[in-house]
Structure formats: C-alpha cells, structure tokens
Amino acid sequence: MKIAIILSGCGNRDGSELQETLSLLLAIDRRNWQYQCFAPKGNLSVVSHVDGKEEGTRDIFAESARIARGNILPIEEYHAADYDALALPGGMGAARNLSTFAFDGANMTVRADVEMTILETFQACKPILAMCIAPMVLAKVLGSKGVLLTLGQPCAASEAAQQLGAKHQCCNPTEVCIDEQHKIYTTPAYMVGTRISEIFAGAENMIAALAERQ
C-alpha cells in the first residue's frame, strides 16, 4: 500500500507532532508499505517549545519538509487515485494551520486545499486515518456524514466534534476507533497518552486495523 500523509509544520505546539508523525511513518514502513508526505504552503505562527510564546512566522511547507527529510510534495499535487489511503498525524498544526479549531472551536473552518484533499479521498471510498487532534479536521469536513471518530475521552474537542455532526467514541491511547461504513480510522495519541510507547502502539494498531480490512 501507499499512504499519503498531510503534515502541518514541525512541532507539537504549532505543527505536526513529531513523535506521532514518526510513529505513523515507522508503523507504515514496518509493513513494507510506502508513504508520501504532503503539506500546504503558507505562513504559520511559530510557537516557542520552551516558553509557549509566539515568535514570528515560518512557511508550513518548509517546516513540514524537516520531518520528511525533504521528500515532500505540495498538497495541490495530491490525487486520490495514486494512493491507497490518506493520513493526518496530530499536533496543534492540525488545529492552527490546517484548520482554525484552536481559535474558533466548533465554528472552525478548514483550509480549502485540505478540505478538497479529504473530500476527494472520501468520495473515492478510500480510507482516511487521523491521530490526536487531527480528527477535528475530519469532523468539520465529514461531520455531516455522521462519521465516527475518537478524540480520546470526553473533552471540549469531542463536544465540538459532535456539534459538527460527528459521532464520538471514547478510546485509550493505544486503541483505534474504526468507522467501518466510512472507512475512517482514528487513534487518540497525545490527547490522552503520556508515553511515546503508547503513541507508537496506537499508530501500529491503526495501521494493523487498516491492513486487516484491505
């Protein structure tokens, strides 16, 4: 299988969460599958991982390239026909850069290019995977379809997801929520997890669940 991955920067406070992203990439690679990273272009507000203060701007695409070791494509080059599944790791970039959930809650919007990518994949009946806070992006784009997803335990995000029409399932960090009908796979990762081993187990279990259903 070949999986497309949407990144949102580099770092849990303002981009893709590194431990979640690398756990996902490793879980894919351990099955001898392939992956290709994508990211949108545009400025993100950089948040210091030392003191939480904002400190200027950087480009989402350039920051995402750090994780992908330079092997990354602009999101507009994504075509669902070329991939078997789409995946979104977590990190606040999903809530700040791919969407406005961090600022607007249930009144959030999703970047048009990200929304188009998700809808194209969904309409092609191909699986979509998401970790941590990234399921909020799916809740906004696909909530009207009544998709089932997890954001861990009951929280402000799970309430917002349900306001958008999505159904929420409580999960522990290593568990996977599977929406068989819509081919949506989600795991809560650092929404409830505290150890990197839990994050990797969740990613591994999510990829294993996908493999079982192909």
For 105-124, b/e burial (b = at least 16 CB within 10 A) is ebebebbebbbebbeebbee
End-to-end CA separation in angstroms for the chain: 9
Mean pLDDT of the chain: 97
75-132 pLDDT, tens digit per residue, is 999 999 999 999 999 999 999 999 999 999 999 999 999 999 999 999 999 999 999 9
Predicted pLDDT at 45: 87
The residues that are catalytic are: 132
Predicted pLDDT at 68: 97
CA-CA distances (angstroms) from residue 131 to 2, 9, 58, 136?
18, 15, 24, 10
State the pTM of this model: 0.96
> Domain tally for the chain?
1
pLDDT beneath 70: ranges in the chain: none
Predicted pLDDT at 1: 96
CATH of residue 55: 3.40.50.880
Domain containing 66 equals 2-212
